[in-house]
Amino acid sequence: MFKTGVSDVRVDVQVMEGKNLVNGLSKDDFVVTDENQPQSIVSFSHGEERLNLILLLDISGSMQKYIDEIAQTARESLEHLRPGDRVAIMVFARTSAVHQGFSDNLAETARQIASAVKVDVGTSTLINSAVMDAAHYMEANAGTDGRRAILILTDNLSMSYQLTDGQVIRELNKADTVFNAIVTGRAIRPRPLEPGKVENPDSTPSDVFHLSEETGGEWVKAEQASVSFNEMIAHIRSRYSLAYHEPPSAPGTFRHIGVALTETARRRFPLAELKARTGYYAE
């Protein structure tokens, strides 16, 4: 849930046709529903707001070469961002650490990526814990204005250990943050649980694909990490923001959001695919 005020919900939306971003849409091209009830869009923007972005880098041993890849082209990739955008770098393996706090010096941020692998954060990998730490850092340090996004670079090889995807997604929602993922290596997505089986919180494989989908973000399986990094930065910067007044509901209730194009816009972009968060918890 993104809130622009006490009673507004804001939704970050990505619109793609195939591999191409759909730009130039207006407020009148979107339909938003809350629990299947149409909502009036009270504010709309596309690219005007500041972006607060956390680069969450898996620096476990298997990830070294991919960090090196994105570091080589990081300055070019970060040129998709705009003056005033701020980027922080967090690294993780067994624990997480802030390598660089939020900064609008994007050239320095690009330089800092290369040295991120030198931080001591242990040897094993705990993805869900790191994502939750990043959500908490975002909530505490991003400020009150601008869009919020996390971009993780990982091979998704981790066990969650007492932190379920649902818990992490809720913290991302509280932090008003869209989660995006570049998945390297074998890029394995865990199989869904068989019917009737109960998830074991001590041995549940991490699933950054699921975290991304539920928060309205994007994931990609990367053959070339540097190419994917460049594309993902561009996509994150080119999302739409829609806001509507939050309908009355009991605090803590999960409310479902739907976002679609109008019939007129759909005729112009018949193959368009939209990514947006699935809902929010009422406060």
Predicted pLDDT of residue 3:
45
Checking if the pLDDT of 2 tops 70, the result is: no
3-state SS, residue 154: strand
Checking if the pLDDT of 173 tops 60, the result is: yes
CA distance 134 to 58: 12
Checking if the pLDDT of 158 tops 90, the result is: no
Checking if the pLDDT of 162 tops 50, the result is: yes
User: Using one digit for the tens of pLDDT, what is the confidence trace for 26-52?
Assistant: 999 999 999 999 999 999 999 888 999
Residue 243 CB-density burial (10 A; 0-12 exposed, 13-18 middle, 19+ buried): buried
CA distance 68 to 225: 9
Checking if the pLDDT of 208 tops 90, the result is: yes
Residue boundaries of the structural domains of the chain: 8-47+239-281, 51-237
Percent of the chain residues past pLDDT 70, beyond the cut: 93
Taking the alpha carbons at both ends of the chain, their separation in whole angstroms is: 10
User: Using one digit for the tens of pLDDT, what is the confidence trace for 58-111?
Assistant: 998 888 899 999 999 999 999 999 999 999 999 998 899 999 999 999 999 999
Percent of the chain residues past pLDDT 90, beyond the cut: 69
CB within 8 A of 120, min separation 6: which ones?
none
**In the CATH scheme, what is the homologous superfamily, with its name and number, of domain 51-237?**
von Willebrand factor, type A domain (3.40.50.410)
180 and 219 Cβ atoms separated by less than 8 Å: yes
CA distance 206 to 154: 11
